[in-house]
Amino acid sequence: MKTAGEPDMTNGKNQALYTVIVPAYNEEDGLRDVLESLLSLQQEHRFEIIAVDDGSTDATADILESYASRIEVLRHRSNRGYGASLKTGVRAAETENVVFFDGDGQHQACYLSTIFESLRSYEFAIGIREDASGVPVVRRPGKWLLAKTCNFLAAQEIPDINCGLRGGRRHLYLQMLALLPDGFSFTTTSLLHMLKSRFSYVYVPVIALERQGNSSVRIVYDGLKTLLLIQRLIMLFDPMRALGYPALALLAFGAVYQLWILCVYGLHIEGAAIVALVSGLMLFMFGLLADQVASLRKEISSQNSMLIEHFQSITETTGQQPEFVDEHVG
């Protein structure tokens, strides 16, 4: 008997249970070492490797080409973003589970054994870096603010909101792909989706190394994007939690203030109290509307994943893709 979230071990479509997805954008300095460490681990564990070149302009494409006989290599014609690379890998994978492993040298292949083992019992295994390892000092204030927002939305303490080393069921990632951004916020958004959907998960402590090569993160630009991400996460995952409290506060203030005016001055309608009551009511109704829109988006995303699985089953059965499905990935 399988425990909740345990994968089907009898699926003969692909003997490997895991696909490790390596996104790479201008990672010529560390990519070769990353791939060699993964290939060495294949002697102990059976898993597939998909590397996605996100339109690199350095020697990344040449390095991946030299490994094309041992791993699956996909390429975007232009730079589409970290999240877009992971999406491409998830769609191309054929195994029960997918694991994300950055191509910049921060992650160590030795932790994959723990993640693989964890995915036998849990639907997701999330890496958590100890003592903010691998996080540049200049990026920590923004990460702190984003972490506090995520803790509020999830109603729990999240040890690490955006460690890139993690894995989970492929079909569950497919359900959320339409909601996930193409940039670096893919990691945080997918984590919140997992927590709000109450999937089974386990945290895996890891130590991240200093990245090799130059980071593509821009401090000011991505800092502003972090503020926008916070607003987006609020409206996507729990608008009532974010808007409901201010609405109730305005309603309570308006009611108490108007009651005090009636007790002190007699029959008198105070304009400020009416404004507070109307504003609170409007904010509450807006929160309800936003909550329904967010629920509808999640339902549409889940239905899209079912269509993807259906089209893939047609492809496997007939050997041909439906005419309206793009055959080229990237």
User: Which residues of the chain form CATH 3.90.550.10?
Assistant: 18-236
Q: What is the pLDDT, as a whole number, of residue 221?
A: 65
10: Cβ contacts below 8 Å, ≥ 6 apart: none
For 18-236, give the CATH class. Answer: alpha beta
Q: What is the pLDDT, as a whole number, of residue 312?
A: 61
262 by Cβ neighbours in 10 Å (0-12 / 13-18 / 19+) ranks as middle
- Count the neighbouring beta carbons within 10 Å of the beta carbon of residue 300: 11
What SS3 string covers the chain?
CCCCCCCCCCCCCCCCCEEEEEEECCCCCCHHHHHHHHHHHCCCCCEEEEEEEECCCCCHHHHHHHCCCCCEEEEECCCCCHHHHHHHHHHHCCCCEEEECCCCCCCCHHHHHHHHHHCCCCCEEEEEEHHHCCCCHHHHHHHHHHHHHHHHHHCCCCCCCCCCCEEEEHHHHHHHHHHCCCCCCHHHHHHHHHHHCCCCEEEEEECCCCCCCCCCCCHHHHHHHHHHHHHHHHHHHCHHHHHHHHHHHHHHHHHHHHHHHHHHHCCCCCHHHHHHHHHHHHHHHHHHHHHHHHHHHHHHHHHHHHHHHHHHHHHHHHCCCCCCCCCCCC
- Cα 195 from chain centroid (whole Å): 11
Q: Which residues of the chain have pLDDT under 70?
A: 1-14, 131-140, 142, 212-227, 301-330
Residue with the two structure tokens 């959907």: 197
Contact between residue 85 and residue 25 where contact means Cβ atoms under 8 Å apart: yes
Q: In whole angstroms, what is the distance from residue 201 CA to residue 178 CA?
A: 21
pLDDT in tens, 160-179: 888 999 999 999 999 888 88
Q: In whole angstroms, what is the distance from residue 238 CA to residue 292 CA?
A: 10
Q: In whole angstroms, what is the distance from residue 191 CA to residue 183 CA?
A: 14
Cα dist. 260→10, 111, 249 in Å?
70, 62, 16
CB burial string 238-254: b at 16+ within 10 A, e below: bbbebbbeebeebbebb
Q: What is the pLDDT, as a whole number, of residue 308?
A: 63
pLDDT in tens, 130-144: 765 555 566 667 677
41 by Cβ neighbours in 10 Å (0-12 / 13-18 / 19+) ranks as middle
- Count the neighbouring beta carbons within 10 Å of the beta carbon of residue 15: 9
Structure tokens at 274: 């009416």
Within 13 A of 17's CA, how many CA atoms are on the CB side? 19
